[in-house]
Structure 1
Amino acid sequence: MTILVITGTGTEVGKTITTAAVAATAFAAGRSVAVLKPAQTGVRPDERGDADEVARLAGAVTTLELARYPEPLAPATAARRSGLAPVRPHEVADAAAKLATEHDLVLVEGAGGLLVRFDDEGGTLADAARLLAAPVLVVASAGLGTLNTTELTARELRFRGLDFAGVLIGGWPNEPDLASRCNLADLPVVAGAPLLGAVPEGVGALDPADFRAGAPSWLAPRLGGSWDAATHNARCTP
Structure 2
Amino acid sequence: MPVLVITGTGTEIGKTVTTAAVAATALAAGRSVAVLKPAQTGVREDERGDAAEVARLAGPVTTRELARYPEPLAPATAARRSGLPPVTPEEVARASADLATGHDLVLVEGAGGLLVRFDEKGGSLADAAALLDAQVLVVAPAGLGTLNSTELTARELRGRGLDFLGVVLGSWPGSPDLASRCNLADLPTVAGAPLLGALPAGAGARTPAGFRAAAPGWLAPGLGGTWDAVAFTARHTSGT
TM norm structure 1: 0.99
Matching residue of 1:22:
22
Q: Alignment identity in percent?
A: 80
Deviation at 1:211, TM superposition (A): 0.2
1:168 partnered with 2:171: no
Matching residue of 1:201:
201
1:176-217 CA-to-partner distances (Å, cap 9, x unmatched) read 000000000000000000110101110100000000000000
SS of the residue 1:48 aligns to: coil
- RMSD of aligned residue pairs (Cα, Å): 0.6
1:232 partnered with 2:229: no
1:60 partner amino acid = P
Distance in 2 between the 1:14 and 1:186 partners? 20
- How many correspondences in the alignment? 238
SS of the residue 1:6 aligns to: strand
Distance in 2 between the 1:31 and 1:22 partners? 11
Matching residue of 1:220:
220
1:230 partner amino acid = V
- Structure 1: 4+ residue segments shifted above 6 A: none
Matching residue of 1:4:
4
Deviation at 1:25, TM superposition (A): 0.2
Matching residue of 1:119:
119
1:49-81 CA-to-partner distances (Å, cap 9, x unmatched) read 000100000000000000000000000000000
Deviation at 1:228, TM superposition (A): 0.6
SS of the residue 1:164 aligns to: strand
| Mapping for residues 112-191 of structure 1, pairs under 5 Å | 112-191=112-191
SS of the residue 1:123 aligns to: coil
Distance in 2 between the 1:10 and 1:228 partners? 25
Deviation at 1:162, TM superposition (A): 0.3
Distance in 2 between the 1:154 and 1:237 partners? 24
Distance in 2 between the 1:206 and 1:11 partners? 21
Show structure 1 runs of 5+ residues with no match. none
Distance in 1 between the 2:236 and 2:154 partners? 25
Deviation at 1:234, TM superposition (A): 1.7
Show structure 2 runs of 5+ residues with no match. none
Matching residue of 1:31:
31
Deviation at 1:233, TM superposition (A): 1.0
Deviation at 1:235, TM superposition (A): 1.6
TM norm structure 2: 0.98
